[in-house]
């Protein structure tokens, strides 16, 4: 082996190891180093929601979305079908008929503690802020992997625009920075939505359940689901009856891809070394090599 | 290729006909000369493909103007990824896996038997990645930000997509380096050719490493869709399944594309190559069969591991069994039987079946078994414009391939001064 | 050529399978919806499945038309099909089962049914099927046949007592009533009757409920004999009915002694109001017993047993184990007969179904009461210090005296302090101020309270009603002040992030007002009212052209002067 070959071999090995280290996910769990002390969220008490849809109105007005018509006659027909959030509506109300009567449930981004959408975003357009807000930024490339990675199917894409955006609730991050409540919380007439630190609203949810055992079922949705979310729901009927999935598990979604990501540096280092070895091992003697050169095969 | 004349001169006495390019002006003149179409323009292939391609380009402009909504694509909030990502990118990359497998066989394991087809395969791989990168740019909604994953300070290093994006980019460069000796021969740059030839092994090793990671990476993208992919398809080992299936997907494409190339570019190919071709195909068929058998076993083990056996007795179960038995097990046996009996038509048929199976598999993960419980009214199937644009991308790639094969020493022998050292 | 043909056919096959596969996969959602099994009207039919014996059925269940068979064998009698024992027909089926186990039972069914059908067929009579599929019909696989439970309420009991007296000239409760002597070794002598110990059948024949030690033993015996409430009732009732049906039919009473399923299992039930006037069976119970527990710390309670009788459908609502006084089993410190539950909890446990406090608590969930009581937490005697008045309402210590408070009246109210109409404009922005009909509501609540004896007894005075809305005000303190007990005294306008339990003023108003209307079922002003008209406008009209709440919020984005106010409130340090 001459010097040139030797350098080539070492070079490719180092390059492999270096790139492997560069791409090693140091923080694969989508947790940012937080300087903030608390994660903020909203407690949604579905026994208090009266389905007036003023939260939809407030959200639309604050975010420059089309203002929905929330008159009575409109509501009646609209709430007959189960709706989903859309690229023009960050939050919607759904109506469910259950054994405990009519229940209204607001649906919006859950602001997970470890969001799948944040882990999926390759340009950090989706970010989990230190205060718990999961926000979207304009450096997005529109690959829509966040839509695939969200267990709640929340991010919505503006397909019909030439300059599309990903639309979802951002817990009114701008308003938070100005020291005011999210629009939906501000407008809700029955305080079905309660804003506070996750610790506080979790305590309040547990207090309400403990104080009224016949009124609530003993579960806070979002406490542990998908590793915990900042939107917590309490309800008087089992959550499957009001449109929540119970099969999402308690594993945070980014953890599902950590297995693969942890394997990356190993492959980056081992593969070149193994292949180089194989290449050297299968090398024929010098005479045959010369024979090859003469024939001029390609 | 109709109308193409090739001089058959003995190698030793061949005149050095390579172009003498000393500066940019020379290069430009040479390129202009090469761009002149050779041969018959009015072939059936041209007549059919050209209108589709032009229509596709028009639709691409429409897509850029109007966005991704209807009528350009049928994508909706339930199905963010459709034909372009599912077929053009994910399946296309699986098919381009032939390049890294064959490079591994020829350059690392030094199996000289497959040397004749290596350049065509690498060219295919390079073009595939080039065009599928284009398809990506077309599919992502905010394409003007495409440079963001490459430059800047907002690297989402935790994202599998980030890894996939970078690997695409780096693999294109690696494939280009692998193919560049051919370009150098075409341009007659002897010194460059020597340098590039020496870089081949490094590029190959780099390329295989990258391929392993991004073939499996494409599978890892779907890991966070656990709640939406049917339990028969979803497993923690999707990346491994994707990687193993890319082996036989790529080789099946090599078989398929090779059989067409041999018909179309037949006159370019010399006697020796023609003779060895059958052996090559049979060898590839054997490799495919082994890989497919392994893949089938993996699938069976994972069924048990994920406790998914009860799901087999359902509509989705039958679809799964159809995919695995009809498009993995059956072609596997066909490959084995074809290789045993040295019957090329069986092998070619099996290759087509395998390719269909891979398309089916990747599309299952993208929009068939993904969100499988959604009502029919919200389901996705490709819109006509999507199909035309896809067709035009593939046809453009074929045209580029044809252009390069006709002018560069891909299938024919390289000039005498080109010495391969490996 | 052959090979080419094979490839072509295989390709076609694959194409067909792909198309069919894609179609079925795309339409799979429609198959995911679970169909509800159809329910049919019983109409004297019985679903024979016996899944407790057969487990998962190999063949579909049999929908058996009992009515038809009853009609056909009117003359021959029920013992054509049903076994007899000691002159009584046991309404089990089949008549004889030779061995234990699935096969033996199946064979018994088949032998009895099919043999009879074959016999009738050979006699050229119209008869039932003999082929498997004609009884085990596939389309009847999922049908559910459910008979509504028959309630042997006091009306029916009274009728039976009267009819019996009519027939034999005296009361003989032993014809139906008996008790089981668990200590008797000879089983044939275990069933005894002792006058004055008549109780409900449900005590011994209802399984699955939590019972004291004695009843647990008895119910175990009953279960072993297969005498659940269904078997026991059918055996007891039907035999007697069969015996005397003819007699009453001759007298012209066609509806007497019913034997058809749907004649008893009507699904119609009498209400407490309908049963109020029926005389309850006499067991020497006192009208107003004086409950005084020895060594207890509280004074005795004179309990109006008679009026409570009239307000319950069965005695078992309170006498859940035996028809005796509570302190028979529940002592001061608890004993085994009472499962360790002491007498204080027996009377006062707020969430029990059988205690005084528990039943009263349940009553507060009624529409008329829930408006206020839904929001007032149930008082647990042990954990929250009760007011003296709450206890002395019952614990008077006086025998045969129940101090009934006077009905409430608003006559003595100071109309200057207790306003007729209150204008709420503290939150005025998007809507006009709300004009709240304060006195009208008080009048309405007074009427609701006076209409209920229990409410009058416990409410005592008018101030109790005020606390329904003014829930944290102390009435005596308020009476001394000139300023009214406004909601805004405690509930802030701004969002209180430190005390999430106390809602802000906007929500306090909406939840209190709309909550009361919701619970009391008052449509106007309730939260669920999706008919035409402006829901919000019921209480406060929207301002025309005025600033909306929403634009106020939008302005907050730029109005940083609000920052400090709200920041300190809800952002914990």
C-alpha dihedral (B399, B403, B406, B409), degrees to nearest 10? -120
Say yes or no: C528 contacts chain B, CB-CB below 8 A.
no
Q: Give the per-residue pLDDT at C559.
A: 44
Minimum mean pLDDT range among C322-336, C501-515, C558-572: C558-572
> What would the two tokens of residue B294 be?
């392994």
- Is the pLDDT at B264 greater than 90? The verdict is no
Residue C405 inside a domain? The answer is: no
Say yes or no: C1 contacts chain A, CB-CB below 8 A.
no
In three-state secondary structure terms, C164 is helix
Q: Give the per-residue pLDDT at A297.
A: 43
In tens, the pLDDT along C28-64 reads 887 777 777 777 777 888 888 888 888 888 888 898 8
- B318/C29 touch (CB, cutoff 8 Å), yes or no: no
In three-state secondary structure terms, C178 is coil
Mean pLDDT of C351-364: 87
Alpha carbons B286 and B101: distance in angstroms, whole number: 14
Q: Give the per-residue pLDDT at A16.
A: 57
ipTM value, please give it: 0.87
In three-state secondary structure terms, C406 is coil
We report the CATH number of the domain holding residue C470 as: 3.90.10.10
Domain limit, last residue, from C275, C302, C320 = C275
Chain C residues 9-48 with a CB less than 8 Å from chain B: 10, 14, 17-18, 21-22, 24-32
- C566/A181 touch (CB, cutoff 8 Å), yes or no: yes
Q: Give the per-residue pLDDT at C550.
A: 62
Q: Which residue from C minimizes the CA distance to A80?
A: C530
Q: Give the per-residue pLDDT at C564.
A: 39
Q: Give the per-residue pLDDT at C553.
A: 60
Rounded mean pLDDT of chain A?
85
Q: Are residues C503 and C522 in the same domain?
A: yes
Q: Tokens 């309420």 map to which residue?
A: C153
Residue A21 inside a domain? The answer is: no
Instruction: Check residue A60 and report its DSSP letter.
Output: H
Instruction: Check residue C336 and report its DSSP letter.
Output: G
Q: Are residues C25 and C43 in the same domain?
A: no
- A8/B198 touch (CB, cutoff 8 Å), yes or no: yes
Q: Give the per-residue pLDDT at C252.
A: 84
- A195/C564 touch (CB, cutoff 8 Å), yes or no: no
Alpha carbons B126 and B54: distance in angstroms, whole number: 23
Mean pLDDT of B239-265: 93
With bands split at pLDDT 50, 70 and 90, how would you rate the model's confidence at A48?
very high
Residue C402 inside a domain? The answer is: no
Q: How far is B93 from chain A (nearest CA, A)?
A: 17
Task: Identify all chain A residues contacting C367, using CB atoms and an 8 Å cutoff.
Answer: none
Q: Are residues C366 and C468 in the same domain?
A: no
Segments making up each domain of chain B, as ranges: 47-407
Chain A residues 73-132 with a CB less than 8 Å from chain B: 84, 86-87, 116, 119-125
List the one residue out of B113, B134, B132, B126 whose CA is nearest residue B181. B126
Task: Identify all chain C residues contacting A181, using CB atoms and an 8 Å cutoff.
Answer: 495, 566, 570
Task: Identify all chain B residues contacting A83, using CB atoms and an 8 Å cutoff.
Answer: none
- Is the pLDDT at C111 greater than 50? The verdict is yes
Residue C280 inside a domain? The answer is: no
Q: How many domains does chain C have?
A: 5
Q: Which structural domain, as residue segments, surrounds residue A249?
A: 40-255
Q: Which residue from B minimizes the CA distance to A11?
A: B202
Q: Give the per-residue pLDDT at B396.
A: 94
Q: How far is B263 from chain A (nearest CA, A)?
A: 21
Task: Identify all chain A residues contacting B421, using CB atoms and an 8 Å cutoff.
Answer: 293
Say yes or no: C7 contacts chain B, CB-CB below 8 A.
yes
We report the CATH number of the domain holding residue A203 as: 3.30.70.20
Residue A2 inside a domain? The answer is: no
Task: Identify all chain A residues contacting C377, using CB atoms and an 8 Å cutoff.
Answer: 211-212
Say yes or no: A298 contacts chain B, CB-CB below 8 A.
yes
Say yes or no: B353 contacts chain C, CB-CB below 8 A.
yes
Rounded mean pLDDT of chain B?
89
Q: If phi over 0 gives left and psi between -120 and 50 gives alpha, with beta otherwise, what is residue A132?
A: left
Chain centre distance of CA B304: 32
- Is the pLDDT at C555 greater than 70? The verdict is no
> What would the two tokens of residue C133 be?
């599929």
Mean pLDDT of C101-116: 89
pTM of the model: 0.83
Q: Which residue from C minimizes the CA distance to A55?
A: C550
With bands split at pLDDT 50, 70 and 90, how would you rate the model's confidence at C93?
confident
Candidates B86, B156, B375: best to mutate against A (most CBs of A within 10 A) is B156
Task: Identify all chain A residues contacting C550, using CB atoms and an 8 Å cutoff.
Answer: 57-58, 61, 187
Number of H-type helices and E-type strands within chain C: 25, 12
Alpha carbons C256 and C233: distance in angstroms, whole number: 17
| Alpha carbon separation from C242 to A70, C79, C193, C259, C264 (Å, rounded) | 66, 11, 23, 7, 14
Chain pair A-B, CB pairs under 8 angstroms: 220
Instruction: Check residue C431 and report its DSSP letter.
Output: B
- Is the pLDDT at C233 greater than 80? The verdict is yes
- Is the pLDDT at B1 greater than 60? The verdict is no
Cβ-based burial of C131 (10 A; exposed 0-12, middle 13-18, buried ≥19): exposed
Helices A3-23 and B160-187: crossing angle in degrees, nearest 10, is: 150
Say yes or no: A220 contacts chain C, CB-CB below 8 A.
no
Q: Give the per-residue pLDDT at C569.
A: 38
Closest residue to C25, CB basis, from B316, B345, B375: B316
Q: Give the per-residue pLDDT at C94.
A: 84
Candidates B86, B229, B232, B318: best to mutate against C (most CBs of C within 10 A) is B318
Contact criterion met (CB below 8 Å) for A227 and A252: yes
Which of the listed CATH numbers 1.20.1630.10, 3.50.50.60, 3.40.190.10, 1.10.1240.10 matches domain B47-407?
Answer: 1.20.1630.10
Q: Are residues C326 and C269 in the same domain?
A: no
Q: Are residues C7 and C48 in the same domain?
A: no
Residue A295 inside a domain? The answer is: no
List the one residue out of C506, C501, C522, C526 whose CA is nearest residue C424. C506
Residue C534 inside a domain? The answer is: yes
Q: Are residues C102 and C176 in the same domain?
A: no
With bands split at pLDDT 50, 70 and 90, how would you rate the model's confidence at B176?
very high
Chain centre distance of CA C138: 36
Contact criterion met (CB below 8 Å) for C147 and C41: no
Say yes or no: A48 contacts chain C, CB-CB below 8 A.
yes
- B345/C25 touch (CB, cutoff 8 Å), yes or no: no
Residue A219 inside a domain? The answer is: yes
Task: Identify all chain C residues contacting A61, using CB atoms and an 8 Å cutoff.
Answer: 550-551, 553-554
CB neighbour list of residue C221: distance below 8 Å, 6 or more residues apart? C180, C182
Say yes or no: A35 contacts chain C, CB-CB below 8 A.
no
Q: Give the per-residue pLDDT at C51.
A: 85
- A261/B160 touch (CB, cutoff 8 Å), yes or no: yes
Mean pLDDT of B224-242: 94
Q: Which structural domain, as residue segments, surrounds residue C295?
A: 290-392
Q: Give the per-residue pLDDT at C478.
A: 75
Q: How far is A140 from chain B (nearest CA, A)?
A: 7
Q: Bridge-partner residues for C88, per DSSP? A: C85
Q: If phi over 0 gives left and psi between -120 and 50 gives alpha, with beta otherwise, what is residue C325?
A: beta
Q: Tokens 């072509």 map to which residue?
A: C8
Q: How many domains does chain A have?
A: 1
Residue A44 inside a domain? The answer is: yes
Secondary structure in 3-state letters for chain B: CCCCCCCCCCCCCCCCCCCCCCCHHHHHHHHHHHHCCCCCCCCHHHHHHHHHHHHHHHHHHHHHHHCCCCCCCCCCCCCCCCHHHHHHHHHHHHHCHHHHHHHHHHHHCCCHHHHHHHHHHHHHHHHHHHHHHHHHHHHCCCHHHCCCCCCCCCCCCCCHHHHHHHHHHHHHHHHHHHHHHHHHHHHCCHHHHHHHHHHHHHHHHHHHHHHHHHHHHHHHHHHHHCCCECCCCCCCCHHHHHHHHHHHHHHHHHHHHHHHHHHHCHHHCCHHHHHHHHHHHHHHHHHHHHHHHHHHHHHHHHHHHCCCHHHHCCHHHHHHHHHHHHHHHHHHHHHHHHHHHCCHHHHHHHHHHHHHHHHHHHHHHHHHCECCCCCHHHCCCCCHHHHHHHHHHHHHHHHHHHHHHHHCCCCCCCCCCCCCCC
Ramachandran angles phi, psi of C5, nearest 5°: -65, -45
Q: Give the per-residue pLDDT at A33.
A: 36
- A51/C567 touch (CB, cutoff 8 Å), yes or no: no
Closest residue to B376, CB basis, from C17, C18, C27: C27
Most confident of A168-182, B183-197, B200-214: B200-214
Alpha carbons A125 and A123: distance in angstroms, whole number: 5
> What would the two tokens of residue C118 be?
């074959």
In tens, the pLDDT along C497-545 reads 777 788 889 999 999 988 898 888 887 877 766 555 677 888 888 887 6
- B67/A164 touch (CB, cutoff 8 Å), yes or no: yes
Q: Give the per-residue pLDDT at A19.
A: 52
- Is the pLDDT at C460 greater than 50? The verdict is yes
B189 C-beta neighbours (distance < 10 Å), count: 19
Residue A9 inside a domain? The answer is: no
List the one residue out of C30, C126, C7, C131 whose CA is nearest residue C71. C126
Rounded mean pLDDT of chain C?
84
- Is the pLDDT at C560 greater than 50? The verdict is no
- C29/B353 touch (CB, cutoff 8 Å), yes or no: no
| Alpha carbon separation from C535 to A188, C16, C421, C542 (Å, rounded) | 15, 58, 21, 11
Task: Label the pairing between strands A231-234 and A40-45.
Answer: parallel
With bands split at pLDDT 50, 70 and 90, how would you rate the model's confidence at A193?
very high
Say yes or no: A61 contacts chain C, CB-CB below 8 A.
yes
Helices B118-139 and B160-187: crossing angle in degrees, nearest 10, is: 130
Say yes or no: A99 contacts chain C, CB-CB below 8 A.
no
Alpha carbons C27 and B379: distance in angstroms, whole number: 9
List for chain A the helix, strand, coil content (%; round to 5): 40, 15, 45
Q: Are residues C547 and C447 in the same domain?
A: yes
Q: Are residues C264 and C307 in the same domain?
A: no
């Amino acid at each position: 082996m001459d010097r040139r070959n030797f350098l080539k071999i070492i070079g490719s090995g180092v390059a492999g190891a270096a790139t492997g280290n560069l791409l090693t996910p140091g923080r694969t769990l989508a947790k940012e180093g937080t300087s903030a002390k608390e994660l903020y969220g909203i407690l949604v008490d579905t026994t208090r929601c009266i389905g007036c849809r003023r939260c939809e109105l407030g959200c639309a007005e604050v975010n420059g979305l089309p203002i929905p018509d929330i008159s009575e006659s409109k509501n009646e027909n609209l709430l007959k079908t189960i709706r989903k959030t859309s690229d023009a509506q960050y939050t919607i109300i759904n109506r469910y008929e259950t054994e405990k009567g009519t229940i209204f449930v607001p649906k919006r981004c859950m602001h997970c503690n470890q969001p799948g959408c944040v882990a999926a975003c390759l340009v950090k357009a989706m970010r989990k802020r230190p205060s718990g807000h999961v926000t979207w930024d304009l450096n997005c490339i529109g690959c829509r992997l966040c839509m695939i990675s969200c267990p709640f199917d929340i991010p919505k894409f503006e397909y019909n625009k030439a300059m599309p955006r990903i639309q979802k609730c951002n817990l009114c991050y701008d308003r938070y920075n100005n020291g005011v409540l999210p629009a939906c919380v501000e407008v809700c007439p029955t305080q079905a939505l309660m804003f506070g630190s996750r610790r506080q609203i979790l305590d309040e949810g547990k207090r309400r359940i403990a104080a009224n055992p016949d009124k609530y079922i003993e579960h806070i949705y979002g406490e542990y689901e998908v590793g915990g979310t900042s939107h917590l729901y309490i309800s008087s009927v089992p959550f499957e009856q009001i449109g929540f999935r119970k099969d999402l598990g308690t594993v945070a979604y980014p953890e599902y891809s950590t297995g693969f990501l942890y394997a990356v540096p190993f492959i980056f280092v081992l593969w070149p070394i193994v292949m180089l070895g194989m290449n050297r091992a299968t090398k024929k003697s010098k005479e045959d090599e010369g024979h090859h050169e003469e024939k001029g095969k390609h | 290729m109709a109308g193409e004349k090739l001089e058959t001169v003995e190698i030793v006495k061949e005149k050095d006909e390579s172009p003498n390019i000393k500066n940019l002006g020379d290069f430009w003149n040479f390129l202009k000369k090469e761009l002149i179409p050779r041969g018959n323009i009015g072939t059936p292939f041209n007549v059919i493909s050209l209108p589709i391609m032009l229509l596709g380009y028009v639709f691409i402009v429409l897509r850029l103007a109007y966005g991704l909504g209807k009528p350009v694509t049928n994508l909706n909030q339930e199905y963010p990824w459709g034909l372009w990502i599912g077929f053009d990118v994910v399946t296309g990359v699986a098919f381009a896996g032939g390049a890294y497998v064959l490079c591994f066989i020829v350059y690392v394991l030094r199996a000289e038997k497959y040397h004749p087809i290596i350049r065509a395969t690498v060219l295919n791989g390079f073009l595939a990645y080039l065009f599928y990168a284009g398809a990506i740019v077309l599919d992502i909604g905010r394409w003007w930000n495409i440079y963001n994953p490459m430059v800047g300070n907002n690297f989402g290093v935790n994202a599998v997509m980030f890894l996939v994006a970078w690997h695409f980019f780096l693999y294109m460069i690696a494939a280009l380096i692998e193919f560049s000796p051919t370009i150098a021969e075409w341009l007659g740059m002897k010194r460059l050719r020597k340098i590039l030839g020496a870089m081949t092994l490094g590029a190959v090793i780099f390329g295989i490493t990258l391929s392993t990671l991004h073939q499996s990476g494409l599978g890892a993208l779907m890991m966070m869709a656990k709640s939406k992919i049917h339990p028969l398809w979803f497993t923690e080992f999707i990346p491994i399944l994707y990687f193993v299936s890319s082996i036989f997907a790529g080789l099946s494409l090599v078989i398929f594309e090779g059989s067409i190339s041999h018909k179309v570019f037949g006159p370019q190919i010399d006697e020796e190559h023609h003779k060895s071709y059958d052996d090559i195909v049979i060898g590839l068929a054997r490799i495919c069969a082994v890989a497919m058998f392994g893949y089938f076993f993996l699938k069976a083990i994972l069924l048990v591991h994920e406790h998914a056996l009860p799901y087999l007795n359902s509509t989705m179960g039958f679809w799964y069994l159809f995919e695995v038995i009809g498009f993995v097990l059956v072609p596997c046996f066909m490959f084995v039987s074809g290789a045993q009996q040295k019957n090329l038509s069986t092998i070619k048929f099996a290759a087509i079946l395998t390719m269909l199976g891979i398309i089916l598999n990747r599309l299952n993960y993208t929009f068939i078994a993904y969100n499988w419980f959604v009502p029919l009214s919200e389901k996705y199937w490709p819109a006509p414009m999507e199909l035309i644009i896809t067709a035009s991308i593939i046809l453009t790639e074929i045209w580029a391939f044809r252009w390069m094969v006709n002018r560069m020493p891909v299938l024919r022998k390289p000039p005498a001064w080109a010495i391969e050292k490996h | 050529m052959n090979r080419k043909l094979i490839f072509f056919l295989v390709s076609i096959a694959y194409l067909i399978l792909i198309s069919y596969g894609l179609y079925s996969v795309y339409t799979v959602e429609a198959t995911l919806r679970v169909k509800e099994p159809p329910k049919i009207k019983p109409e004297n039919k019985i679903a024979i499945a016996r899944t407790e014996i057969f487990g998962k059925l190999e063949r579909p269940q049999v929908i058996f038309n009992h009515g038809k068979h009853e009609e056909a064998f009117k003359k021959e009698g029920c013992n054509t099909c049903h076994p007899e024992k000691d002159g009584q027909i046991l309404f089990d089926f089949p008549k004889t089962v030779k061995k234990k186990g699935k096969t033996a039972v199946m064979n018994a069914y088949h032998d009895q049914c099919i043999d009879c059908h074959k016999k009738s067929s050979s006699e050229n009579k119209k008869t039932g099927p003999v082929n498997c599929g004609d009884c085990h019909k596939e389309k009847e696989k999922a049908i559910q046949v459910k008979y509504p439970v028959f309630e042997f309420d006091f009306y029916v009991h009274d009728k039976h007592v009267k009819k019996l007296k009519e027939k034999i000239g005296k009361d003989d409760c032993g014809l139906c009533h008996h008790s089981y002597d668990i200590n008797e070794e000879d089983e044939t002598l275990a069933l005894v009757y002792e006058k004055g110990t008549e109780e409900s059948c449900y005590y011994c024949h209802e399984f699955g409920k939590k019972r004291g030690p004695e009843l647990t033993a008895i119910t175990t015996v009953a279960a072993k004999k297969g005498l659940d409430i269904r078997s026991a009732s059918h055996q007891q009732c039907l035999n007697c009915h069969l015996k005397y049906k003819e007699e009453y039919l001759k007298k012209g009473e066609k509806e007497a002694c019913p034997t058809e399923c749907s004649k008893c299992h009507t699904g119609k039930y009498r209400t407490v109001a309908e049963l109020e006037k029926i005389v309850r069976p006499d067991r020497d119970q006192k009208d107003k017993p004086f409950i005084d527990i020895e060594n207890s710390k509280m004074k005795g309670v004179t309990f109006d047993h008679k009026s409570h009788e009239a307000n319950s459908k069965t005695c078992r609502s309170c006498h859940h184990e035996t028809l005796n006084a509570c302190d028979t089993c529940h002592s001061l410190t608890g004993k085994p007969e009472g499962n360790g539950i002491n007498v204080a909890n027996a009377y006062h446990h707020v969430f029990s179904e059988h205690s005084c406090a528990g039943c009263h608590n349940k009553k507060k969930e009624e529409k008329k009461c829930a408006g206020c009581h839904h929001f007032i937490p149930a008082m647990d005697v042990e954990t929250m210090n009760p007011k003296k008045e709450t206890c002395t309402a019952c614990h008077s210590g006086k025998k045969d005296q129940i101090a009934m408070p006077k009905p409430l009246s608003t006559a003595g109210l100071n109309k200057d302090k207790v306003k007729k109409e209150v204008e709420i404009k503290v939150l005025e922005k998007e809507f006009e101020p709300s004009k709240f009909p304060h006195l009208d509501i008080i009048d309405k609540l007074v009427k609701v309270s006076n209409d209920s004896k229990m409410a009058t007894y416990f409410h005592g005075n008018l101030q109790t009603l005020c606390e329904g809305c003014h829930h944290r005000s102390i009435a005596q303190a308020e009476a001394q002040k000139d300023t009214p007990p406004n909601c805004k005294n405690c509930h802030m306008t701004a969002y209180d992030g430190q005390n999430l339990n106390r809602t802000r003023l906007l929500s306090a108003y909406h939840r209190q007002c709309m909550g009361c209307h919701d619970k009391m079922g008052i449509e106007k002003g309730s939260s669920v009212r999706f008919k035409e008209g402006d829901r919000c406008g019921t209480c406060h009209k929207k301002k025309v052209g005025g600033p909306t709440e929403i634009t106020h919020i939008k302005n907050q984005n730029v109005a940083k002067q609000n920052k400090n106010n709200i920041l300190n409130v809800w952002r914990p340090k």
